[in-house]
């Protein structure tokens, strides 16, 4: 035993400066080690949900192949099936990027939101794993959700979701007004659409002639904020791009 220290009957070492135990308690370096890279979504109870508030949802995949020709139709098929199956949960907009999805959804209540998202993530994981002959975990993390409670918040989310491809592909050899890997071809809130139907709708199925969607895979919006309210802040332009301020506002 070192000079100046002694051990009590309970196994506690004491000295002039420190006290430490030989069992349990807080220890330096204890606990789960932090992962490098992107921060995970905290495992907290989901907040209450009101039907009047649409929700911006982000889903991150472990695979960087969601925009590939053979994968994307499978994702859209899962979204379209969700529209036919669920009445209290609606996917009104979506955008597929290389390793994540952005959704704007509506739900009757917290239970409908949880049930609808659970069904969607399971359906996509099973279908894509089967397509790619993969097994195991498909999603990298639990989904992140943020309620959109004001017209400005909904307009910001619409721009962020429908123009998200400009954030990841700022330079392209063939600039596009709308992203074919999203619900933008069916979106009627662009200023440019006032003279005609939604932009480039027919181009949605061109890269994959075996994949044809006769009608929109998304549900029609019913919440006032998603249907009418956001328009009070001004229609979107098909040339708008998301900004860093949009991302901070949707965290």
Helix (H) / strand (E) element for 119: namely helix 110-132
Distance CA 217, CA 165 (A): 19
Instruction: Assign 3-state DSSP to the chain and report helix, strand, coil percentages, each to 5.
Output: 35, 15, 50
pLDDT for residue 112? 94
The answer regarding whether domain 55-249 maps to CATH 3.30.70 reads yes
pLDDT for residue 185? 83
Instruction: Count Cα atoms within 13 angstroms, Cβ side, for 54.
Output: 31
**How many other C-beta atoms are found inside a 10 Å radius of the C-beta of residue 171?**
6
pLDDT along the chain (251 residues), means of 10: 52 51 64 55 71 96 86 91 87 94 96 94 93 88 93 96 82 64 88 62 42 71 96 90 71 63
**Is the entire prediction scored with pTM above 0.85?**
no
Distance CA 20, CA 28 (A): 11
pLDDT for residue 208? 39
Residue ranges per domain, the chain? 55-249
pLDDT for residue 70? 85
């Amino acid at each position: 035993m070192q000079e100046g220290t002694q051990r009590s009957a309970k196994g506690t070492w004491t000295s002039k400066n420190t006290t430490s135990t030989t069992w349990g308690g807080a220890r330096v370096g204890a606990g789960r080690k932090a992962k490098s890279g992107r921060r995970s979504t905290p495992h907290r109870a989901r907040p209450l949900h009101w039907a009047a508030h649409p929700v911006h949802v982000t889903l991150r995949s472990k695979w960087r192949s969601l925009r590939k020709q053979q994968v994307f139709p499978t994702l859209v098929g899962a979204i379209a099936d969700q529209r036919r199956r669920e009445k209290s949960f609606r996917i009104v907009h979506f955008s597929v990027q290389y390793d994540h999805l952005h959704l704007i959804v509506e739900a009757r209540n917290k239970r409908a939101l949880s049930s609808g998202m659970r069904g969607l993530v399971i359906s996509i994981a099973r279908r894509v794993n089967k397509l790619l002959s993969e097994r195991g975990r498909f999603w990298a993390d639990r989904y992140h959700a943020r309620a959109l409670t004001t017209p400005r918040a909904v307009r910001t989310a619409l721009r962020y979701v429908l123009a998200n491809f400009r954030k990841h592909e700022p330079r392209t050899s063939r600039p596009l007004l709308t992203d074919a890997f999203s619900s933008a071809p069916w979106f009627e809130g662009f200023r440019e659409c006032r003279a005609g139907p939604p932009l480039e709708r027919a181009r949605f199925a061109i890269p994959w002639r075996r994949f044809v969607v006769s009608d929109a895979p998304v549900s029609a919006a019913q919440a006032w904020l998603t249907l009418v309210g956001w328009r009070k802040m001004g229609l979107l332009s098909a040339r708008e791009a998301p900004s860093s301020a949009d991302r901070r506002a949707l965290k």
